[in-house]
Chain A
Amino acid sequence: MFVIRMAVRETRASWRRLLFFFICIAVGVAAIVTLRSVIQSVREVFGQEARNLVAADVLISTTRNWTPEARATIERRLAAANADARTDTVETPTMVRPQDTAKTKTRMAELRAIGPEFPLYGTMTLEDGQTYRHEMLKDRGALVRPELLTALDVKVGDAIVIGQLPFTIRGVIANEPGRRVGDFSLGPRIMIDIADVETTGLLAAGSRVRRVLLVRVPEREVRPLVRQLRDDFKNQFVNARSFRSDDDEIGRDFDRAENYLSLVGLVIVILGGIAVSSVTRVFVLQKIRPIAVLKCVGARSGQIIAVYLLQVLTLGLAGSLLGLLLARGAVASIPYFVPPIDTSSAGTLLSEVNYGVTWSAAAQGLGIGALVSLLFSIVPLLQVRFIKPSLLLRDETSTAGFDWTRAVAVTLVGAALVALTAWQAASWTVGLAVCAGFAGLAVILVFVGRLLVSVVAPLSNARSFPLRHAVLHLSRPGNQTRVILLAVGLGAFFIVGVRSLQGSLLEELSMQMSEDSPDMFLMDIQREQADGVRAFLADPARGAGPAKLIPVLRARVTGVEGRETQLESFEDVRARGSLAREYTVTYRDQLEANETVVEGRFWSGPATEPEISVEQDLAERFNLNVGDLVRFDLLGRTIIARITSLREVDWRDSRAGGFMFVFRPGVLDQLPQWYIAPLKGPPDVQARARFQHDLVARFGNVSVIDFRDILLTIRDAMSKVTLAISVVGALVLFSGGLILIGAVAMTKFQRVYEAAVFKTLGASTGTIARMLLFEYGVLGALAGLVGSLGAVALTWGVSRFALDIPWRVFAGEHLAGVALTAILVAAIGVLSSYDVLRHKPLMTLRAE
Chain B
Amino acid sequence: MIALTNVSKTVTSGSQPLTILHPLTVTIPAGTFIAVVGPSGSGKSTLLGLIAGLDAPTSGSVAIDGTDITKLDEDGLAKLRGEKIGFVFQFFHLIPSLTALENVSVPLEIAGAADATDRARGLLQEVGLTGRAHHYPSQLSGGEQQRVALARALANNPPILLADEPTGNLDSANGRHIMDLLQNIHSARRTTLALVTHDRELAALADARLVLRDGHVVEHVGVDVVASRSVAGSGGQAVAGAS
Known contacts A297-B106, A392-B54; is-contact A1 B98 (Cβ 8 Å): no
Say which one of B109-117, B122-130, B207-215, B230-238 lies at the interface with A: B109-117
Task: Fill in one digit per residue for A829-848: 1 if any B CB lies within 8 Å of its CB, else 0.
Answer: 00000000000000000010
Given A300-B75, A390-B49: A294 in contact with B109 (beta carbons within 8 A): no
Q: Is A393 in contact with B74, judged by CB distance below 8 angstroms?
A: no
Q: Are B98 and A393 in contact (CB under 8 A)?
A: no
Given A295-B78, A300-B74, A300-B75, decide whether A392 and B89 contact each other with a Cβ distance below 8 A.
yes
A286 to B55, alpha carbons, bound, how many Å?
Answer: 21
Question: Which listed residue (A1, A14, A299) contacts B78, Cβ 8 A?
Answer: A299
A389 CA to B82 CA, complexed, in Å: 13
Those of A9-38 within 8 Å (CB) of chain B: 9-10, 12-14
Q: Within the complex, what minimum Cβ distance (angstroms) separates A620 from chain B?
A: 67
Assess the B110–A393 pair: CB atoms within 8 A.
no
Does B224 sit at the interface, judged by CB under 8 A? no
A2 touches B79 (CB 8 A): no
A2 and B111 CA atoms in complex are apart in Å by 9
Contacting pair B110 A299 (CB below 8 A)? yes
**Nearest CB to that of A10 among chain B residues?**
B97
CB pair A290–B75 under 8 Å, yes or no, is: no
Determine the chain A residues whose CB is within 8 A of the CB of B79 once the complex forms. Answer: 298, 300
Query: Could you say which residues of chain A place their CB within 8 Å of the CB of B110?
Result: 2, 294, 297-299, 303
User: In the complex, are the beta carbons of A14 and B97 less than 8 A apart?
Assistant: yes
B96 proximity list for chain A (CB < 8 A) = 13, 290
Q: Which residue of chain A has the shortest Cβ distance to B96 in the bound complex?
A: A290
Query: Is A550 an interface position by the 8 A CB rule?
Result: no
B216 on interface, CB distance cutoff 8 Å:
no
Q: Does A542 contact B (CB under 8 A)?
A: no
Known contacts: A1-B109, A392-B89. The answer to whether A297 contacts B152 by CB under 8 A is yes
A303 contacts across to B, CB distance below 8 A: 110
**Is there contact, CB below 8 Å, between A293 and B75?**
no
A11 to chain B, nearest CB (A): 10
1/0 per residue, CB under 8 A from B, across A271-297: the answer is 000000000000000000110111111
B residues in contact with A294, CB < 8 Å: 95, 106, 110
- Taking a contact as CB atoms under 8 Å apart, the answer to whether A2 and B109 are in contact is yes
Quote the shortest CB–CB distance from B104 to chain A (angstroms): 10
Is A84 at the interface (CB under 8 A from chain B)?
A: no
* Complex Cα spacing A750 to B82, Å: 33
Shortest Cβ distance from residue A288 to the other chain B in the assembled complex, whole angstroms: 11
B107 CB-CB contact with A under 8 Å: yes
A394 interface residue (CB < 8 Å to B): yes
Q: Do A393 and B111 touch across chains, with their CB atoms under 8 A apart? A: no
Q: Is the CB of B106 within 8 A of A6?
A: yes
B152 nearest in chain A by CB position: A297
Residues in B whose Cβ lies below 8 Å from that of A394: 45-46, 49
Closest to A847 in B: B138
Question: Is A5 in the interface zone, CB < 8 Å from B?
Answer: yes
Tell me the complex Cα distance, A396–B20, Å: 14
Cα separation A385 to B98 with both chains bound (whole Å): 22
Contacting A at CB under 8 A, from B129-188, are 138, 152, 155-156, 164
Contact status B81-A296, CB under 8 Å:
yes
B102 at interface by CB-CB < 8 Å: yes
Residues in B with CB closer than 8 Å to A299 are 78, 82, 106, 110
A14 to B97, alpha carbons, bound, how many Å? 8
A683 within 8 A of B: no
CB pair B97–A390 under 8 Å, yes or no, is: no
B199 within 8 A of A: no
In whole angstroms, how far apart are the Cα atoms of A303 and B109 in the complex? 11
Is A301 among interface residues, defined by CB-CB distance under 8 A? yes
B37 within 8 A of A: no
Q: Which residue of A lies closest to B95 (CB)?
A: A290
Residue B205 at the chain A interface, CB threshold 8 Å: no
Give the docked Cα–Cα distance between A301 and B110 (Å): 12
CB contacts (< 8 Å) of A301 on chain B: these are 74-75
Q: Does A302 lie at the interface of the complex (its beta carbon under 8 Å from any beta carbon of B)? A: yes
Check B75–A302 contact: CB distance below 8 A. Answer: yes
State in angstroms the CA–CA spacing of A388 and B11 once bound together. 14
Chain B's closest residue to A385 (CB) is: B74
Chain B residues near A393 (CB-CB < 8 A): 45-46, 48-49, 54-55, 89, 164
Instruction: Point out the residues of chain A lying under 8 angstroms from B75, CB to CB.
Output: 300-302
Smallest CB gap from A13: residue in B = B97
Given contacts A6-B106, A9-B97, A296 and B87 within 8 Å (CB-CB): yes
**CA–CA, A301 and B75, complex, Å:** 7
B residues near A296, Cβ cutoff 8 Å? 52, 54, 81, 87, 93
Closest to A297 in B: B107
* Contact residues of A between 391 and 418, Cβ < 8 Å to B: 392-394, 396
> Does B97 contact A290, Cβ atoms closer than 8 Å?
yes
Interface membership of chain A positions 313-348, coded 1 if the CB is closer than 8 angstroms to chain B and 0 otherwise: 000000000000000000000000000000000000
With both beta carbons as reference points, the residue of chain B lying nearest to A292 in the complex is identified as: B93
Nearest neighbor of B138 in chain A, beta-carbon distance: A847
Complex contact B95–A293 (CB within 8 A): yes
The interface residues of chain B lying within 8 Å CB-to-CB of A385 are 74
Shortest C-beta distance, B10 to chain A (Å), equals 13
The distance in angstroms between the C-alpha atoms of A6 and B112, with both chains bound, is: 13
CB neighbours (8 Å) of A390 from chain B are 49, 54-55
* CB atoms of A396 and B46 under 8 A apart: no
Structural contact, A300 and B78, CB atoms closer than 8 A: yes
- Do B81 and A297 touch (CB < 8 A)? yes
Q: In the complex, which residues of chain A have a beta carbon less than 8 angstroms from the beta carbon of B45?
A: 393-394
Beta-carbon contact of A5 and B109 below 8 Å:
yes
In the complex the two chains form, what is the Cα distance from A14 to B93 in whole Å? 18
Closest to A5 in B: B109
Closest chain A CB from B57 CB (angstroms) = 11
Report the separation of the CA atoms of residues A389 and B49 in the bound assembly, to the nearest whole angstrom: 9
Contact with B along A757-791 (1 / 0, CB 8 A): 00000000000000000000000000000000000
| Contacts A/B (CB < 8 Å), 29 sampled | A1-B109, A13-B97, A13-B98, A14-B97, A290-B95, A290-B96, A293-B94, A294-B110, A296-B81, A296-B93, A297-B81, A297-B87, A297-B107, A298-B79, A298-B81, A298-B82, A298-B110, A299-B78, A299-B82, A300-B74, A303-B110, A388-B55, A389-B52, A389-B54, A393-B45, A393-B48, A393-B49, A394-B46, A394-B49
Extra A-B contacts (9), CB below 8 Å, given A293-B94, A299-B106: A1-B109, A2-B110, A6-B109, A296-B93, A297-B152, A298-B111, A392-B91, A394-B45, A394-B49
Please list the residues of chain A having a beta carbon within 8 angstroms of any beta carbon in chain B: 1-2, 5-6, 9-10, 12-14, 289-290, 292-303, 385, 388-390, 392-394, 396, 847
For the complex of A and B, list the 4 residue pairs with the smallest distance between their C-beta atoms, beginning with the closest.
A298-B82, A13-B97, A2-B109, A390-B55
